[in-house]
Amino acid sequence: MPDRPLFLERASFHRRRLGDAARVLPVLAMLLILVPVWWVPSSVSFAAGAVWIFTLWGLLVIAVWALHRALLRAEAATMRASEAVPEADDAASAPVGGGPDAL
Amino acid sequence: MPFESLVATCLAYVVLMFGVAYAADRAAARGHVRWLDHPLVYTLSLSVYCSAWTFYGAVGYASRSGLEFLTIYLGPTIVFTGAWWGLRRLVRVARMHHVTSVADLISARFGKSNQLAGLVTLIAVIASTPYIALQLQSVRLSFEAFATDAPNGAATDGNAFGGTGLWVAAGLALFTILFGTRNLAADERHHGVVTAIALEAIVKLLAFIALGVFVVWGLADGPLDMLDRIARASADPQVAQGWMLQPDRWTALILVSAAAILTLPRMFQVMVVEAADEERLHVAGWAFPAYLFAMSLFVLPIAVMGREMLPASANPDLYVLTLPAAAGQDLLALLVFLGGFSAATSMVVVCAIAVATMVSNHWLVPVWLALRRIPAGDETDDLRGFVLNARRLAILAVMAAGWVYHEASGGTAALAAMGLVAFTGMAQVLPAMVGGLLWRGANRKGAYAGIGTGFVLWMALLFLPSVGIGGALPVPAGTDPWTAAVMLALVLNTLAFIGVSIFGFPDPVERLQGLSFVSAVEPIRHSRMMRGNDRAEPLLAMARRVWGADAALRYFQAEARAQGKSGYLPDLTPRFLTRLERRLAGSIGSATAHAMIDRVAGGVALTVSDLLQVADEAQRAKEETQRLEAARAELVRTAGQLREANDKLTALSVQKDAFLGQISHELRTPMTSVRAFSEILKDPSLTEAERTRFAGIIHDEAGRLTRLLDDLLDLSVLESRRAQLTIGVANLHDLISRALSAASATRPERGFLIDRDLPSEHLAVITDVDRLLQVLINVISNARKYCDAVHPVLIIRVRRPEGGGAVIDIVDNGSGIDSGRQSLIFEKFARLNDPARAGGAGLGLAICREIMLNLGGEISYLPGQGGAAFRIVLPARPPAAAEEARQA
């Protein structure tokens, strides 16, 4: 497509890569949950299995939390970057911490 | 606990729920939706996934099959880890099209087909009825278990609780009708219901965690001891056999529960329909898995402890109630009872709303509209009232069906399997749903084929066997029949969907919808929808029938204002019609809204050529932009050229003025002397000697004038390239010698050292000999005039270049010419030093340049030679001679 940029700035590039991570995460989660049961069902069926799966589950929750946090920040950064370009002069002259970003 | 006080507790709890729902609805009506819209409320409302089946049944499931119960929670967890790109997109697309249910989503995607929505509704009804019955049963069982001190004594006295199911069903129907069909808003959100459910989610979670903490730290001796007990329990070979995970079953269960979180009517209702936007999934993406984690963490400990402490005859499904009761923790048992009650009621309420919306939008309203074929404009009845009543009727019907099913099945253990049966039934919608969202090629026939195949196989292999009709799938030993049936249904469903889609050609409406769903963009508006403005009023009348007079007028006025019109009747632009249709779809489903708009506004069927026109318009617009871009670049180029030409003309004009000024000045000086001296000659008292001297001066000045005019004429002839050339052959050595001797008359007092390379000078040149000589004399005289060295040296070098001709360099050892003025020296009247010293008109080098151009060569100044340096380049033949040679 000719009207899409071929290369991105740092902020947008970073956000896209985080988006890639968000796509990979469910696949990774599925593999981690399915493969051990196919592989060694007898060792993940009982107490050890409970420890394994709840640990994995807790890590997944934390991973999604961290990823969403990073993605929201990256989106905000991209937004700021795209806004800052036309208003570079204003941003430079504004007092530090005076903008809405400081809140 | 006595039966009466238990009923009283339940009633108090129910009153609390009614109060919360009422307060939330009132707050929403006043516009106070801030905290109602909080992502946490949304996340908690998603917990409607944990019905009584999971609340009570999970422990029973775990005590029979060990960790396998986790699959029901792990499937949704995997789906929610993909919330960022998967669920967000689903919610965005669904909100964009004001989708009211999962059936409506499928219908809207596949060309607003109501029949398809009807089929999905059928599956939902068949799958949901036993599921609701299961909830009623769990409430009845918990009553039985809890209202007697002996956990198992109630079975003989079941009649005392026979009415429980009916009362619960009636109460929930009342709640659902009150808060679920309050309005027919375009966005179909129920703040009261959602808030009540969020509260119930907290009760559920607290009850379960309280029980879990009591079991792990109260009955057992902490987590390590608990793990020990789990290990000990699984040492029993019979238990170990049941607990051993089967990989195929594990995978299929995770797949089915992942599908269920997307397709179950109640999940779609809370996750998609009740979501104001997709932003709340940022929190729900991790918070909902965390909720599921908390709900399942203590399931296995409770199951193991129940096995240890309770008699073998106790029903494992009721361990959560009987365990605290047996331990003497009555308050904890009451909390758990309320938790289970919450789980059952919230599931029933949301499920009833979702299924009733489908039934009324896809079954009752279309049938009603089809039965009454009255011209649209004359309809004065209240469609809104009908839709709401249809919905209430549907809620009652769903509840009644659940209760009847419950009574008919007699509360057998067969119900326990109904949860999974419902999951697998709704999972048949998944291929069409996911395919429709990701693949533009998916079409309605494919969706029919896929969902139809899945539905038939599900009925035959899973649903009917679960109610005792027909048997399980005959499979080879070692294979799990349930897994085989589920995978067979899903795989054939998907293959049919893809296969038929590949060979189909969808109609234009479907293709437009497909584009909009897959690309998650606003539906493209097509120009064919443009119709006469006289239809605006019937449309308003129709909208009034759906939304009520006030809401319809408000909407139309806002739309008219957006178009810059006053009053209530906007122009029927494609944009307005598309928006109106989608807003109506939010109330009555996309298929019905589409049909109604078409009927009222005098529908013209969309054709393939219209679609191509849409594509064409976009293409044309793009080409037009490119064309304008090219034209703009061309204009910029032309403007640049014009500016350059203008600059050149201005410079020429300035030059011309300067030339006129110069030439007037040059002519005036000798004329002034001639006039002055001729005045003096008139004086008779002059002596003869004086008279002769003055006449001499006049003669000299006249000569100077003549030379100047000759030069000017010569220059003008040369510049016009009309000079007559006399071409001849000469030896360059002779020419240089003649030039040197001729030039020696200039400032003869200066003794120049001439440095020549004699052998190389003997070159024959074909040119106008006199003109070349003139150039050489001029350049050498200039050197003599201007060279300011104490011991002046003149270097003359000649060589023959590759292509013939000659290159003559004449270099002196003076101070040369400033780089800034080198470009000026060949201009007319360009005298670098004071005019007196030069003694000429300043035309010499200008004439030289013109002569050389006429001879086909050039003269140029060579910078950086240690003095003034001129290079004269002669071609092998002069241009005129070259032309003659060519002609010959």
Average pLDDT along chain B: 83
- The verdict on a CB contact (< 8 Å) between A30 and B78 is yes
- The verdict on a CB contact (< 8 Å) between A19 and B293 is no
Q: Could you tell me if residue B486 is inside a domain?
A: no
CB B405 within 8 Å of CB B130? yes
From B600, B623, B651, the end of a domain falls on B600
pLDDT of residue B609: 66
* CATH code of residue B18: 1.20.1730.10
pLDDT of residue B523: 67
Query: Does the beta carbon of B80 lie under 8 angstroms from any beta carbon of chain A?
Result: yes
3-state secondary structure B215-241: HHHHHCCCHHHHHHHHHHHCCCHHHHH
Residue B35 in this model has a pLDDT that exceeds 50: yes
Asked if residue B812 and residue B754 are part of one domain, the reply reads: yes
Bridge partners for B861 per DSSP: B870
Tell me the nearest-neighbour CA distance from B476 into chain A, angstroms: 19
Q: Could you tell me if residue A90 is inside a domain?
A: no
Domain count of the fold of chain B:
4
Mean pLDDT of B240-256: 91
Asked if residue B651 and residue B538 are part of one domain, the reply reads: no
Tell me the nearest-neighbour CA distance from A95 into chain B, angstroms: 31
Best mutation target, B78, B79, B246, to test chain A (most A CBs within 10 A): B78
At B727, which helix (H) or strand (E)?
strand B727-731
**What is the end-to-end Cα distance of chain B in Å, rounded?**
132
Confidence of residue A90 (pLDDT cuts 50, 70, 90): very low
Contacts of B79 in chain A (CB under 8 A): 26
Residue B839 in this model has a pLDDT that exceeds 60: no
Q: Which of B77, B80, B282 has its CB closest to that of A72?
A: B282
Residue B537 in this model has a pLDDT that exceeds 70: yes
Confidence of residue B76 (pLDDT cuts 50, 70, 90): very high
Mean pLDDT of B249-258: 94
Any idea what DSSP says for residue B272?
Answer: I
Asked if residue B196 and residue B50 are part of one domain, the reply reads: yes
Residue B9 in this model has a pLDDT that exceeds 70: yes
Q: Could you tell me if residue B729 is inside a domain?
A: yes
Q: Which of A50, A57, A67 has its CB closest to that of B293?
A: A57
CB B198 within 8 Å of CB B274? no
- The verdict on a CB contact (< 8 Å) between B250 and A22 is no
pLDDT of residue B157: 44
Residue B827 in this model has a pLDDT that exceeds 70: yes
Measure the CA–CA gap between B223 and B229, rounded to whole angstroms: 10
Asked if residue B681 and residue B584 are part of one domain, the reply reads: no
CB B99 within 8 Å of CB B108? yes
Asked if residue B685 and residue B739 are part of one domain, the reply reads: no
pLDDT of residue B532: 57
Q: Could you tell me if residue A27 is inside a domain?
A: yes
Domain boundaries, position B195:
3-372+384-431
Task: Determine phi and psi for A2, rounding to 5 degrees.
Answer: -75, -25
pLDDT in tens, B434-489: 999 999 889 999 999 999 999 999 999 888 887 777 776 777 777 788 899 999 99
CB B112 within 8 Å of CB B591? yes
Least confident interval from B265-269, B451-455, B612-616, B783-787: B612-616
Smallest CA–CA distance from A60 into chain B, residue: B81
Measure the CA–CA gap between B597 and B606, rounded to whole angstroms: 14
pLDDT of residue B262: 94
Tell me the nearest-neighbour CA distance from B67 into chain A, angstroms: 6
Assigned token pair, B108: 């809207």
- The verdict on a CB contact (< 8 Å) between A60 and B77 is yes
Q: Which residue has the higher pLDDT, B5 or B430?
A: B430
- Let me know if A89 is exposed, middle or buried by CB neighbors in 10 A (0-12, 13-18, 19+): exposed
Quickly count: other Cβ atoms within 10 Å of residue B59's Cβ: 29
Residue B602 in this model has a pLDDT that exceeds 70: no
Q: Which of B78, B86, B290 has its CB closest to that of A29?
A: B78
- How many contacts does A have with B, using Cβ atoms within 8 A? 101
From B694, B715, B736, the end of a domain falls on B715
Q: Sign of dihedral through CA atoms B674, B675, B681, B685?
A: negative
pLDDT of residue B886: 61
Q: Could you tell me if residue A85 is inside a domain?
A: no
Q: Could you tell me if residue B845 is inside a domain?
A: yes
pLDDT in tens, B846-860: 888 888 888 888 898
Smallest Cα–Cα separation from B42: which of B83, B93, B103? B83
Best mutation target, A28, A33, A51, A69, to test chain B (most B CBs within 10 A): A33
Confidence of residue B73 (pLDDT cuts 50, 70, 90): very high
Q: Which residues of A touch B (CB under 8 A)?
A: 19, 22-23, 25-26, 29-30, 33-34, 37-38, 41-42, 44-47, 49-51, 53-54, 57-58, 60-65, 67-68, 71-72
Q: Could you tell me if residue A24 is inside a domain?
A: yes
pLDDT of residue B162: 61
pLDDT of residue B265: 93
Q: Could you tell me if residue A98 is inside a domain?
A: no
Asked if residue B138 and residue B73 are part of one domain, the reply reads: yes
Task: Determine phi and psi for A95, rounding to 5 degrees.
Answer: -65, 145
pLDDT of residue A93: 38
Distance of CA B54 to the CA centre of its chain: 40
- Let me know if A35 is exposed, middle or buried by CB neighbors in 10 A (0-12, 13-18, 19+): exposed
Q: Could you tell me if residue B218 is inside a domain?
A: yes
Q: Could you tell me if residue A50 is inside a domain?
A: yes
Residue B620 in this model has a pLDDT that exceeds 60: yes
Best mutation target, B63, B64, B67, B619, to test chain A (most A CBs within 10 A): B67
Domain count of the fold of chain A:
1
Confidence of residue A97 (pLDDT cuts 50, 70, 90): very low
Confidence of residue A79 (pLDDT cuts 50, 70, 90): confident
Smallest CA–CA distance from A69 into chain B, residue: B282
pLDDT in tens, B314-362: 888 888 888 898 888 888 988 999 999 889 889 998 999 899 989 988 9
Q: Which of A23, A51, A64 has its CB closest to that of B286?
A: A64
Measure the CA–CA gap between B597 and B605, rounded to whole angstroms: 12
Contacts of A65 in chain B (CB under 8 A): 286
Asked if residue B542 and residue B411 are part of one domain, the reply reads: no
pLDDT in tens, B641-655: 999 899 888 888 887
Q: Which of A29, A42, A53 has its CB closest to that of B67?
A: A53
pLDDT of residue A102: 32
pLDDT in tens, B350-394: 999 899 989 988 998 888 888 876 544 445 566 777 888 888 999
Tell me the nearest-neighbour CA distance from A99 into chain B, angstroms: 24
Question: Which residues, at least 6 apart from B552, have a Cβ–Cβ distance to it below 8 Å?
Answer: B540, B543, B544, B546
Q: Could you tell me if residue A96 is inside a domain?
A: no
Asked if residue B533 and residue B648 are part of one domain, the reply reads: no
pLDDT in tens, B267-302: 999 999 888 788 888 999 999 999 999 999 999 999
pLDDT in tens, B682-717: 888 888 888 888 888 889 888 888 888 888 888 888
Q: Which of B231, B247, B282 has its CB closest to that of A46?
A: B231
Q: Which residue has the higher pLDDT, A94 or B445?
A: B445
Mean pLDDT of B822-842: 62
pLDDT in tens, B581-599: 888 888 888 878 877 777 7
Q: Could you tell me if residue B405 is inside a domain?
A: yes
Q: Which residue has the higher pLDDT, B168 or B574?
A: B168
| ipTM exceeds 0.95, yes or no | no
* CATH code of residue B817: 3.30.565.10
- The verdict on a CB contact (< 8 Å) between B244 and A34 is no
Asked if residue B730 and residue B708 are part of one domain, the reply reads: no
Best mutation target, A38, A64, A75, to test chain B (most B CBs within 10 A): A64
Asked if residue B815 and residue B755 are part of one domain, the reply reads: yes
Query: Does the beta carbon of B86 lie under 8 angstroms from any beta carbon of chain A?
Result: yes
Tell me the nearest-neighbour CA distance from A103 into chain B, angstroms: 19
From B668, B688, B715, the end of a domain falls on B715
Asked if residue B596 and residue B615 are part of one domain, the reply reads: no
Least confident interval from B48-57, B534-543, B604-613, B786-795: B604-613
Asked if residue B729 and residue B709 are part of one domain, the reply reads: no
Q: Could you tell me if residue B50 is inside a domain?
A: yes
* CATH code of residue B614: 1.10.287.130
Assigned token pair, B738: 């003649």
Smallest Cα–Cα separation from B142: which of B289, B296, B238, B9? B9
Contacts of A58 in chain B (CB under 8 A): 293
Mean pLDDT of B861-884: 80
Mean pLDDT of B730-756: 86
Tell me the nearest-neighbour CA distance from B665 into chain A, angstroms: 58
pLDDT of residue B167: 81
Domain boundaries, position A57:
10-79
- The verdict on a CB contact (< 8 Å) between B297 and A54 is yes
